[in-house]
Amino acid sequence: MKSHAKAVVIGGGVVGCSVLYHLAKSGWTDIMLIERSELTSGSSWHAAGGFHTLNGDPNVAKLQAYTVQLYKEIEEISGQSCSLHLTGGVMMADTPERMDFLRLAHAKGRYLGMDTELITPSEAKAMFPLMDETNFVGAMWDPVEGHLDPSGTTHAYAKAARKLGAEIVLRNRVVELTQEVDGTWNVVTERGTVKAEHVVNCGGLWAREIGRMVGVELPVLAMEHMYLLTEPMPEVEEFNKSTGREMIGVLDFKGEIYTRQERNGILLGTYEKACKPWSPVSTPWDFGHELLQPDIDRIAPSLEIGFKHFPGIEKAGIKQIINGPFTFALDGNPLVGPVQGLTNFWCACAVMAGFSQGGGVGLALSNWMVHGDPGFDVWGMDVARFGEWATLRYTNAKVRENYSRRFSIRFPNEELPAARPAQTTPLYDTMLANNAVMGDSWGLETPLWFAPRGSEPKDVVSFHRSNDFRPIGEEVRATRARVGVTEIANFAKYEVSGPGAEDFLNRLMTNRMPKTGRIVLTPMLNEFGRLIGDFTIAKAGPRGGEERFMIWGSSAAQKYHMRWFEKHLPKDGSIRIHRFDQTLVGLSIAGPKSRDLLQKLVDVDISTKAFRFMDFREMAVGGAPCMVNRITYTGDLGYEIWMAPAYQRLVYKAIKEAGEEFGLVDFGMRALLSMRLEKNFPTWFRELRPIYGPFEGSMDRFIKLEKNDFIGREAAAKEQAEGPKLRRVSFIVDAADADVMGDEPIWAKVGGKDYGTVEKPHGYGAPRFDAGGKEVRGSNAAEGASAVRGIVDGNWRVVGWVTSGGYAHYVEKSMAQGYVPAALAENESAGLFEIEILGHRRPARINVEPPFDPSGEKMRT
């Protein structure tokens, strides 16, 4: 074993071997993988070996598609077979709601380049005759599904990595990790210490323990999982003989079951409701190639449904039940990337579907390590997406919830209950008393809407407009007509201070920094000129002679943004960044009467001239020290008021009392989002993501290319010079009783005209490797794009995709935002566009100017 390496990968499961292979392929050959026992000594050896491309997050789906394409490549390089069976598979819907879900998935698939097809239960039965098709109402066919040999596949990655120069050390446990002042890691193993520049945690079942070696509690938990294998079945043999084909894979939502052919019999696995964590606090180091005791009672309810739906299987004898542990993060997606607060400590763990996702995880992580950027939009699996609130017990509750609903539908208005409430503001009880329906906003309880007095504060979950529709409409109308108050504690808040703070922010942000007492809105770009943030920044008065800026941003991106800020901070400690999290909370008041209301609570003049639109001031509100921004996301006259939590009740009470004479109402997050729609305002992670350039995102007025050299300026200048290929636009949709949710295809009647690229980007230009192993360089947004170009229906063609939308209650229109080719972005013609909602194409029209207050007069008065 060598004593130095550029990178040490800990763990020889399928994920560690994939990371090793991709690093070697990127040109890092001074790398080693250290495995405690033999390869596949965690979950990998007893996996059912199934793979598929579908995922709730389209970007993760794309990386799954890459994984499946990769198997041929590693077989060729290694000479080791993965025993690939590309059978295709179906998802079976037993209710109209589940069929709606499949229609949505199919619609998304249109621009992801997926070849899915909606089929009848009888068509599904023809490919899997063991089912009773009368239990189902419909199905979706996906040709890119199948199964493989988990052990062979892991060894294929490992052999391919070795051939490219990587070293693999077996039977040697990593026992400790320490870091020297210069950043070098000491990887202490049973057989000596290796000095490494980078360490990657691919510890699978032990990822949590490896995290603890560096003081990090990763939100990952192992669950027991069972699948059964039947004795050989004559029906299976007969089918194979008569059709010359293998039986397909089947996923049954109702039973939370997956099943497929295994040799001459059937494999059937369940995600049972009565699920069970394995080693919930710490994983024993001596756990080896062992299986857990099967517990058939636990899976009996699923089996009962399974045998009813697939009577052919019930008759077969059970040969074996496999019970093994594997790991999950809270939402079932992996934890990948650099851990915030540490240097060169990387994660690739909580990969619950290693044979669907392992390749994509390896590719993204190796890009990140070698080139400083994953090269894809990997937010859906970024280790930074969970906060400190994801403790051991929180993780336990959420992972159990996620496991037991693995194949359940999540409705767009559905809030999941496990581990809640976690964080609450001082107003939590008051909001409940006000009949608020609460939602989870990055671990914080946040009012979504207020149910009418006397009715139960609860969402009726649905793909269609629901019981919140009317109350939200009332909140919006009252706010726009008079004044409303809402909690905004769920924004991210930071303070940047120190000499040179302004230069630092000018280097990171695209807009000029404000003068003292003023506010700017500004995107942030990465080196490739892609959007990685969108902030409100105010310059506060100096403290102790030092420059001071307040920053507000997306709550969910707090760790993601802190990681970026820390990476770019000067090493001399001259600039400090403080993340407030819940030590600063807020309230927003909005509407034409909001100034009159606020004036009653403050002792300074806040008239239009004295406190202008986009002003920032520290002032006492209702006697409490606060910071006030003259700005609101509703696009109306309004204010954001920020205070320490100890003052929040005082300020809220003062607002409520003073607001009585103006007809003040409470409004929730959903009303706020409805109001932003009618102003064409974008949201972070929906409209604005790292796959888009700033001009594509229609953020032109916040990009000051001439101000100074900021990160991403060159690429942004190029985008502007060449003209963006896509544009973010707003639509008014002729919807019925359902509005868009996001990710729906946008159709245009373009005839034979070609409007240039209409591809949804996934990659954004970091050097990386395509599915064929070819190195791809450049900064073209369409790299790694999905082929929506090919979807044609007569004169109609899919030209774009929806990012978000809903009902805009004040203007009484269903609205959507999304991306279309730039050449179409200002074409407001009726009859040109259609947006597919729940499988039905609805007429839509681009609306260049916001329907509410297009001149922006109201917010400026």
Ligand X SMILES: Cc1cc2nc3c(=O)[nH]c(=O)nc-3n(C[C@H](O)[C@H](O)[C@H](O)COP(=O)(O)OP(=O)(O)OC[C@H]3O[C@@H](n4cnc5c(N)ncnc54)[C@H](O)[C@@H]3O)c2cc1C
Beta-carbon contacts of 280 under 8 Å, excluding residues fewer than 6 positions away, are 221, 392, 396
Least CB distance to ligand X at residue 24 (A): 17
Q: How far apart are CA 861 and CA 611, in angstroms?
A: 11
User: What are the structure tokens assigned to 602, written together?
Assistant: 């403050």
Select the span of 201-209, 429-437, 511-519, 618-626 touching ligand X (CB under 6 A): 201-209
Q: How far apart are CA 829 and CA 833, in angstroms?
A: 8
Question: Considering the rule CB under 6 A, would residue 303 count as an interface residue with ligand X?
Answer: no
Q: Which is nearer to ligand X, 49 or 659 (CB)?
A: 49
Least CB distance to ligand X at residue 9 (A): 9
421 upstream amide cis, omega within 30 of 0: yes
Least CB distance to ligand X at residue 80 (A): 17
Q: Which is nearer to ligand X, 283 or 522 (CB)?
A: 283
Give bridge partners of residue 376 from the DSSP assignment.
763
Question: Considering the rule CB under 6 A, would residue 360 count as an interface residue with ligand X?
Answer: no
Near ligand X in 430-449, by CB under 6 A? none
Question: Considering the rule CB under 6 A, would residue 347 count as an interface residue with ligand X?
Answer: no
Question: Considering the rule CB under 6 A, would residue 271 count as an interface residue with ligand X?
Answer: no
Are 435 and 411 a contacting pair, CB within 8 Å?
no
Which residue in the set 14, 369, 501, 740 belongs to the binding site for ligand X (CB under 6 A)? 14
Least CB distance to ligand X at residue 361 (A): 9
Q: How far apart are CA 651 and CA 644, in angstroms?
A: 10
Question: Considering the rule CB under 6 A, would residue 354 count as an interface residue with ligand X?
Answer: yes
Question: Considering the rule CB under 6 A, would residue 22 count as an interface residue with ligand X?
Answer: no
Q: Which is nearer to ligand X, 352 or 673 (CB)?
A: 352
Instruction: Count residues binding ligand X (CB under 6 A).
Output: 42
Closest CA to 396 of 284, 291, 287, 276: 276
Which residue in the set 5, 10, 144, 628 belongs to the binding site for ligand X (CB under 6 A)? 10
Q: Which is nearer to ligand X, 225 or 630 (CB)?
A: 225
Which residue in the set 28, 278, 345, 355 belongs to the binding site for ligand X (CB under 6 A)? 355
Q: How far apart are CA 264 and CA 234, in angstroms?
A: 8
Q: How far apart are CA 492 and CA 488, in angstroms?
A: 10
At 707, the amino acid letter reads K
Q: Which is nearer to ligand X, 12 or 447 (CB)?
A: 12
Q: Where are the beta strands (DSSP E) in 46-147?
A: 50-51, 89-93, 117-119, 138-142, 146-147
Q: Which is nearer to ligand X, 86 or 540 (CB)?
A: 86
Least CB distance to ligand X at residue 29 (A): 21
Span between the terminal Cα atoms of the chain, in Å:
71
At 586, the amino acid letter reads G
Beta-carbon contacts of 367 under 8 Å, excluding residues fewer than 6 positions away, are 26, 373, 374, 375, 376, 766, 767, 768
Q: Which is nearer to ligand X, 169 or 787 (CB)?
A: 169
Collapsed DSSP state (helix, strand, coil) of residue 108: helix
Which residue in the set 128, 206, 253, 376 belongs to the binding site for ligand X (CB under 6 A)? 206
CA 49, 53, 54, 56 torsion: positive or negative? positive
Question: Considering the rule CB under 6 A, would residue 13 count as an interface residue with ligand X?
Answer: yes
CB atoms within 10 A of CB 310: 23
Question: Considering the rule CB under 6 A, would residue 174 count as an interface residue with ligand X?
Answer: yes
User: What are the structure tokens assigned to 856, written together?
Assistant: 């922006």
Beta-carbon contacts of 369 under 8 Å, excluding residues fewer than 6 positions away, are 7, 23, 28, 198, 200, 346
Least CB distance to ligand X at residue 174 (A): 4
Near ligand X in 32-51, by CB under 6 A? 34-37, 41-44, 46-51
At 825, the amino acid letter reads A
380 phi, psi to nearest 5 deg: -60, -15
Question: Considering the rule CB under 6 A, would residue 67 count as an interface residue with ligand X?
Answer: no
Q: Which is nearer to ligand X, 173 or 512 (CB)?
A: 173
Instruction: Give me the DSSP letters along 504-521.
Output: HHHHHBSSPPPPBTBEEE
Question: Considering the rule CB under 6 A, would residue 591 count as an interface residue with ligand X?
Answer: no
Q: How far apart are CA 848 and CA 3, in angstroms?
A: 62
Question: Considering the rule CB under 6 A, would residue 531 count as an interface residue with ligand X?
Answer: no
Which residue in the set 5, 161, 220, 352 belongs to the binding site for ligand X (CB under 6 A)? 352
Q: b/e per residue, 52-84, with b = 16+ CB within 10 A?
A: bbbbebbbbbbbbbbbbbbbebbbebbebebbb
Q: How far apart are CA 621 and CA 601, in angstroms?
A: 5
Select the span of 119-127, 196-204, 577-585, 761-769 touching ligand X (CB under 6 A): 196-204
Q: How far apart are CA 353 and CA 572, in angstroms?
A: 43
Q: Which is nearer to ligand X, 203 or 529 (CB)?
A: 203
Q: How far apart are CA 728 and CA 801, in angstroms?
A: 10
User: What are the structure tokens assigned to 555, written together?
Assistant: 């709550």
Question: Considering the rule CB under 6 A, would residue 125 count as an interface residue with ligand X?
Answer: no
Pairing state between β 249-252 and 174-179: unpaired
Q: How far apart are CA 103 and CA 117, in angstroms?
A: 9
User: What are the structure tokens assigned to 189, written together?
Assistant: 């193993």
Question: Considering the rule CB under 6 A, would residue 203 count as an interface residue with ligand X?
Answer: yes
Q: How far apart are CA 798 and CA 109, in angstroms?
A: 12
Least CB distance to ligand X at residue 5 (A): 14
Question: Considering the rule CB under 6 A, would residue 204 count as an interface residue with ligand X?
Answer: yes
Question: Considering the rule CB under 6 A, would residue 7 count as an interface residue with ligand X?
Answer: no
Question: Considering the rule CB under 6 A, would residue 761 count as an interface residue with ligand X?
Answer: no
Q: Which is nearer to ligand X, 5 or 758 (CB)?
A: 5
Q: Where are the alpha helices (DSSP H) in 708-842?
A: 713-722
Least CB distance to ligand X at residue 612 (A): 55
Q: Which is nearer to ligand X, 51 or 310 (CB)?
A: 51
Collapsed DSSP state (helix, strand, coil) of residue 251: strand
Select the span of 204-212, 653-661, 778-786, 835-843 touching ligand X (CB under 6 A): 204-212
* x/- track of binding to ligand X for residues 320-339 (CB under 6 A): --x-xxx-------------
Near ligand X in 227-266, by CB under 6 A? 227
Which residue in the set 5, 7, 8, 15 belongs to the binding site for ligand X (CB under 6 A)? 15
Least CB distance to ligand X at residue 261 (A): 13
Question: Considering the rule CB under 6 A, would residue 200 count as an interface residue with ligand X?
Answer: no
Q: Which residue minimizes CB distance to ligand X?
A: 42
Length of the chain: 861
Q: Which is nearer to ligand X, 43 or 632 (CB)?
A: 43
Least CB distance to ligand X at residue 560 (A): 22
Select the span of 354-362, 482-490, 508-516, 812-820 touching ligand X (CB under 6 A): 354-362
Least CB distance to ligand X at residue 292 (A): 9
Question: Considering the rule CB under 6 A, would residue 627 count as an interface residue with ligand X?
Answer: no
Least CB distance to ligand X at residue 353 (A): 4
Least CB distance to ligand X at residue 187 (A): 9
Least CB distance to ligand X at residue 356 (A): 5
Which residue in the set 316, 336, 353, 820 belongs to the binding site for ligand X (CB under 6 A)? 353
Q: How far apart are CA 293 and CA 194, in angstroms?
A: 38
Using the structure block, give the residue that is written with the tokens 């030092």: 546
Select the span of 203-211, 240-248, 339-347, 479-487 touching ligand X (CB under 6 A): 203-211
User: What are the structure tokens assigned to 495, written together?
Assistant: 């303070």
Which residue in the set 60, 65, 202, 448 belongs to the binding site for ligand X (CB under 6 A)? 202
Least CB distance to ligand X at residue 194 (A): 12
Using the structure block, give the residue that is written with the tokens 């004036």: 599
Using the structure block, give the residue that is written with the tokens 């892991």: 154
Residues that bind ligand X (CB under 6 A): 10-16, 34-37, 41-44, 46-51, 173-174, 202-206, 210, 225, 227, 322, 324-326, 349, 351-356
